[in-house]
């Protein structure tokens, strides 16, 4: 049956209208939307007639659906004017108004082919209009060629881009709405679409171009999984530290499982190209939820409070939110690229799945790994309270007449030490620097996640030779360090301004510092961390490193093994390469069977010389402390001097950790003797020797009462003045506690005298000797009795 007979069967009284329509479909510019296309559409409507509510109405709509066709018209314009033509002409020939309205609706429907699920007439017409997509390859190629001829006015590149976008938009949804169309025509239609899309893109770029959206899609899945892992870490942490065990929920396994399941569902939707809405909707949801979560984290972000450290919860939750936004953006970008002509051809499924898995795993690993330094930086910032100053320390003359310069009550301190910036106090959570002349606090450095820094004692503060750089030990205590997060255990600070120069995480012990490097002992390794320079090196020695000093261009260290001797080594300060070594066992009988950290004592550098001096204890002659000196320029032992009758270090209250200090002209040694009865005063040796040859300069015996007989007392309780005299704080027979000066003139008690220049006058009986600590700053002796810090002129 030809087209004219088909029309006459529909509207026999409207033959002129049929002739007009046939003439329209025979226009010269039509190469596909012609009479053959009309015939194929009508034949398909006949095949699907059983699915339509009114097959003849659908046939009339088919006659008018391309009645007006201009390739240069805007999208949807041809369908609109064709519908208007149908409504006008059919009404003129007496067709019922309701039928005319339905025909116009059906014609307009062919613009996007998006009929509703219950639109039976629309489903038949749309399937008939798209039937060409499922026809054999030869007919499909004729259709594609005809479309190109109709759009000959469009450049090849622009046509390929627009055509591919159109074909991709078709392939994103179900092509055929009727059961017969979906079952019989869906697969061949998609094969034809894929073949044409592949023919439109640049051939050289097809294998690579098709992988581009897959790579972005895999990255999006990786961001989803990473977000779920970070969410689990955040939810498993307590809100603040320190926390009770009940406040720590542990890592919720359901979070990464849910993230992995979501990623798997998205992958299924992606590789089933008919379900693209299952990819578009999650992209919007991820981005929206992530942005809302970022706002919540920002609003609820905890404020640093003394004694309550922020844990890793909020940084991890913030990072999980950012990762979710990233997932949404990558997912949207992947879907958009998939529609772009250069990337539209899908790679082989095995290649796409592999690329997705690899990219997803890689990005998930990168995001989770990058989360640890991010969280670490946020914790360090949130839990650190640091103030600085630009004012220089006060410079006032020191009379050394025993008058009180200033006094104030302070929290219990772990140690005090003099620096170029004043007197540094090691407190439980950090360091406070006070002006040595006025006692006013100049700057503070504290961490809320550190609670027992003061327990480190004198070893908790290390000062550079010029006094301008200070290192504070920040031990981990009740604060549980998050997995993978390396919080600093040492803070290197500018002693004058309070500026944080660097923070270092290490399990070792700080030995020495200068403006360029921090020297750390880690077992039998010596590690140099850069302070103001990027210098970093790690050198291995034979035994455990116990002491170290930075002198000029060398790092001088002592390493010792129990019962096997001790060696002094000079290491290049830039590379860690060994320059020389001195075996102390060649001159001293080192038969100790102790932890080397107890029998290898202080190491000091003599100012403005190339000489270092140190201590080592041996069991020979009932216990002998040896003092030795090494020339670091030539790398040889200069002299050794025994101090007989010294008890074994760290052996109860009768022993002590000898202190060695140096000035330009003297080496001062403070140690204790053996043989005291429990509960009786102990004898301390306080002596001075010549740094050049070890010859004695002066020597005094000091009676120390039982309550001061602690191993740390020689290290904490004595200070060395620039002129070589030693000062300490000691109980007096009358029950008071007064400073004691030791030097060439002997041992002199100096009662504290009130000063007319200070408003606060400390009486001698107000000072206790329960926990004395002494240091010297700006040539002024500074004392602490555990509750009060005061300075004398």
106-136 per-position pLDDT tens digit:
999 998 888 888 899 999 999 999 999 999 9
766: pLDDT confidence band, cut at 50, 70 and 90? low
pLDDT at 764: 40
The verdict on residue 672 lying in a domain is no
Domain that holds residue 189: 3-200
Q: Which region among 355-364, 512-521, 737-746 has the lowest average model confidence (pLDDT)?
A: 737-746
Query: Same structural domain for residues 103 and 225?
Result: no
Helix (H) or strand (E) holding 743: strand 737-743
Least confident of 5-14, 371-380, 461-470: 371-380
- Examine the fold and report which residue of 200, 233, 265 is the final residue of a domain before the chain moves on: 200
Q: Cα(777)–Cα(588) distance, rounded to whole angstroms?
A: 36
Which is nearest to 234 in space by CA: 353, 314, 121? 314
Query: Does residue 704 surpass a pLDDT of 60?
Result: yes
Share of residues in the chain with pLDDT > 90 (%):
40
Which pLDDT does position 125 carry in this prediction?
A: 93
pLDDT interval class at 753 (50, 70, 90): confident
729 falls in which pLDDT band (50, 70, 90)?
A: confident
Please tell me whether residues 36 and 163 are part of one structural domain: yes
Across the chain, mean pLDDT equals 85
Residue 281 lies in a domain: yes
- Sign, CA torsion 114/118/121/125: positive
Going by pLDDT thresholds of 50, 70 and 90, the confidence category of residue 516 is very high
Q: How confident is the model at residue 706 (pLDDT cuts 50, 70, 90)?
A: confident
* Residue 205: pLDDT over 50: no
Do 196 and 216 fall into the same domain?
Answer: no
Q: How confident is the model at residue 760 (pLDDT cuts 50, 70, 90)?
A: very low
Higher pLDDT, 77 or 454: 77
Residue 595 belongs to a domain: no
| Residues 173 and 218 placed together within one structural domain of the fold | no
Q: What total number of domains does the chain contain?
A: 2
> And the tokens for 76?
């949807």
Residues 232 and 115 occupy one common structural domain: no
pLDDT more than 70, % of the chain: 89
Confidence tier at 526 by pLDDT (50, 70, 90): very high
Do 377 and 228 sit in the same domain of this protein? yes
CB-hemisphere CA count at 13 Å for 733?
2
Tell me: do 276 and 194 sit in the same domain: no
Q: For residue 480, how many other CB atoms are within 10 A of its CB?
A: 17
Residue 762: what pLDDT? 43
Which range, of 64-68, 225-229, 375-379, averages the lowest pLDDT? 375-379
pLDDT of res. 597? 67
pLDDT band per the 50, 70, 90 thresholds, residue 457: confident
Question: Which residues, in sequence order, are bridge partners of residue 444?
Answer: 432
Q: What is the mean pLDDT of residues 428-451?
A: 88
Q: How confident is the model at residue 49 (pLDDT cuts 50, 70, 90)?
A: very high
CA atoms within 13 A on the CB side of 295: 6
Task: Give the model's confidence band at 488: pLDDT under 50 very low, under 70 low, under 90 confident, else very high.
Answer: confident
DSSP per-residue codes, 107-146: HHHTTTT---TT-HHHHHHHHHHTGGGGS-HHHHHHHHHH
- The stretch 434-451 carries a mean pLDDT of 88
Question: What's the pLDDT score for residue 792?
Answer: 81
Length of the chain: 793
pLDDT of residue 341: 61
Q: How confident is the model at residue 39 (pLDDT cuts 50, 70, 90)?
A: very high
Residue 656's nearest CA partner among 701, 717, 605 is 717
Evaluate whether residue 477 is within a structural domain. no
Question: Residue 195 belongs to a domain with what CATH number?
Answer: 1.10.3210
CA-CA distance, 580 to 391, in Å (whole number)?
Answer: 43
The last residue of one of the domains, among 342, 362, 382, is: 382
What confidence score (pLDDT) does residue 650 get? 65
CA distance 180 to 166: 24
Q: Establish if 551 belongs to a structural domain.
A: no
Q: Residue 712's pLDDT band (boundaries 50, 70, 90)?
A: confident
Highest mean pLDDT among 298-302, 394-398, 582-586: 582-586
Residue 585: pLDDT band (50, 70, 90) is confident
Model pLDDT, residue 495 = 94
257 belongs to a structural domain: yes
Element (H, E) at 629: strand 624-631
Out of 149, 174, 200, a domain closes at: 200
| Enclosing H/E stretch for 254 | helix 254-271
Q: For tokens 């000063």, what's the residue?
A: 755
Q: How confident is the model at residue 196 (pLDDT cuts 50, 70, 90)?
A: confident
pLDDT tops 90 at residue 281: no
Whether residue 328 sits in one domain with residue 218: yes
Co-location of 233 and 344 in the same domain: yes
Q: How confident is the model at residue 765 (pLDDT cuts 50, 70, 90)?
A: very low
- pLDDT band of 628, cuts 50, 70, 90: very high
Q: Regarding predicted confidence, which is higher, 758 or 143? A: 143
Who has greater pLDDT, 122 or 751? 122
Report if residue 367 sits inside a domain.
yes
The pLDDT score that the predictor gives to residue 773 is 86
Q: Which of 260-264, 704-708, 757-761 has the lowest mean pLDDT?
A: 757-761
For 304-357, what is each residue's pLDDT tens digit? 666 667 778 888 999 999 999 999 999 999 888 876 666 766 777 788 888 899
Checking if the pLDDT of 518 tops 80, the result is yes
Check if the beta carbon of residue 513 is closer than 8 Å to that of residue 492: yes
- Asked whether the predicted pLDDT for residue 592 surpasses 70, the reply is no
Q: Average pLDDT in the 197-202 region?
A: 69
What pLDDT is recorded for position 224?
94
* One domain for residues 110 and 195: yes
Q: Are residues 21 and 46 in the same domain?
A: yes
Same domain, 191 and 213: no
Residue 365 located in a structural domain: yes
What are residue 195's phi and psi, to 5 degrees? Answer: -65, -40
**Strand order across the beta sheet in which 461-463 lies:** 461-463, 469-473, 490-494, 500-504
């Amino acid at each position: 049956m030809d087209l004219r007979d088909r029309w006459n069967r529909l509207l026999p009284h409207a033959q002129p209208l049929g002739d007009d329509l046939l003439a329209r479909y025979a226009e010269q510019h039509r190469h596909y939307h012609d009479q053959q296309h009309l015939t194929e559409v009508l034949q398909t409507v006949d095949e699907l007639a059983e699915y339509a509510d009114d097959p003849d109405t659908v046939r009339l709509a088919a006659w008018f659906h391309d009645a007006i066709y201009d390739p240069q018209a805007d999208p949807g314009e041809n369908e609109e004017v064709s519908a208007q033509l149908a409504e006008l002409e059919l009404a003129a020939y007496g067709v019922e108004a309701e039928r005319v309205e339905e025909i116009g609706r059906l014609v307009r429907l062919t613009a996007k082919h998006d009929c509703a699920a219950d639109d039976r007439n629309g489903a038949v017409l749309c399937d008939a209009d798209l039937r060409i997509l499922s026809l054999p390859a030869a007919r499909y190629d004729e259709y594609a060629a005809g479309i190109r001829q109709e759009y000959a006015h469009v450049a090849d590149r622009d046509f390929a881009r627009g055509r591919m976008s159109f074909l991709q938009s078709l392939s994103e949804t179900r092509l055929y709405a009727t059961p017969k169309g979906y079952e019989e025509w869906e697969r061949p239609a998609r094969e034809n679409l894929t073949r044409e899309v592949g023919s439109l893109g640049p051939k050289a770029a097809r294998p690579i171009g098709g992988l581009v959206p897959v790579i972005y899609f895999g990255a999006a899945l990786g961001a989803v999984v990473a977000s779920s892992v970070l969410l689990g870490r955040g939810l498993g942490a307590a809100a603040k530290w320190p926390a009770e065990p009940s406040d720590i929920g542990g890592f919720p396994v359901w979070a990464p499982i849910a993230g992995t399941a979501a990623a798997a569902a998205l992958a299924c939707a992606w590789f089933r190209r008919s379900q693209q809405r299952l990819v578009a909707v999650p992209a919007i949801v991820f981005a929206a939820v992530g942005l809302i979560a970022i706002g919540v984290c920002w609003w609820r972000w905890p404020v640093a409070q003394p004694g309550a450290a922020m844990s890793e919860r909020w940084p991890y939750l913030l990072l999980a939110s950012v990762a979710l936004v990233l997932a949404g953006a990558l997912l949207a970008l992947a879907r958009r690229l998939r529609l772009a002509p250069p990337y539209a051809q899908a790679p082989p499924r095995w290649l796409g799945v592999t690329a997705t898995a690899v990219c997803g795993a890689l990005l998930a690993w990168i995001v989770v790994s990058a989360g640890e330094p991010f969280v670490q930086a946020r914790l360090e910032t949130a839990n650190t309270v640091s103030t600085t100053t630009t004012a220089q320390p006060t410079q006032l003359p020191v009379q050394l007449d025993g008058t009180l310069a200033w006094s104030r009550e302070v929290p219990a301190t772990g140690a005090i030490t003099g620096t170029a910036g004043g007197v540094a106090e090691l407190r439980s959570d950090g360091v406070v620097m006070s002006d040595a002349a006025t006692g006013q606090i100049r700057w503070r450095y504290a961490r809320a996640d550190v609670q027992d820094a003061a327990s480190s004692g004198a070893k908790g503060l290390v000062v550079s030779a010029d006094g301008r750089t200070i290192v504070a030990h920040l031990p981990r205590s009740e604060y549980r360090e998050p997995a993978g997060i390396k919080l600093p255990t040492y803070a290197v600070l500018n002693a004058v301004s309070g500026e944080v120069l660097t923070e270092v995480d290490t399990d070792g012990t700080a030995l020495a510092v200068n403006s360029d490097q921090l020297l750390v002992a880690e077992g039998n390794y010596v590690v140099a961390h850069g302070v103001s320079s990027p210098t970093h090196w790690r050198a291995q020695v034979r035994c455990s490193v116990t002491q170290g000093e930075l002198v000029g261009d060398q790092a001088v260290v002592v390493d010792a093994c129990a019962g096997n001797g001790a060696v002094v080594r000079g290491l290049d300060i830039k590379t860690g390469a060994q320059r020389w070594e001195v075996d102390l066992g060649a001159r001293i009988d080192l038969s100790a069977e102790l932890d080397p950290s107890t029998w290898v004592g202080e190491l000091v550098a003599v100012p403005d010389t190339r000489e270092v001096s140190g201590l080592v204890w041996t069991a020979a002659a009932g216990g002998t402390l040896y003092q030795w000196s090494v020339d670091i320029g030539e790398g040889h032992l200069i002299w050794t001097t025994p101090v007989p009758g010294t008890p074994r270090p760290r052996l109860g209250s009768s022993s002590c950790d000898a202190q060695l200090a140096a000035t330009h002209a003297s080496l001062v040694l403070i140690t204790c003797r053996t043989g005291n009865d429990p509960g009786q005063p102990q004898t301390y040796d306080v002596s001075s020797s010549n740094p050049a040859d070890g010859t004695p300069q002066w020597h005094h015996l000091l009676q120390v009462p039982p309550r001061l007989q602690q191993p740390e007392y020689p290290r904490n309780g004595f200070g060395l003045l620039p002129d070589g005299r030693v000062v300490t704080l000691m109980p007096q027979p009358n029950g008071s506690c007064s400073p004691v000066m030791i030097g060439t003139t002997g041992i002199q008690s100096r009662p504290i005298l009130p000063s007319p220049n200070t408003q606060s006058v400390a009486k001698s009986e107000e000072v206790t000797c329960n926990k004395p600590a002494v240091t010297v700053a700006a040539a002024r002796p500074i004392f602490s009795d555990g509750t009060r810090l005061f300075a004398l002129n």
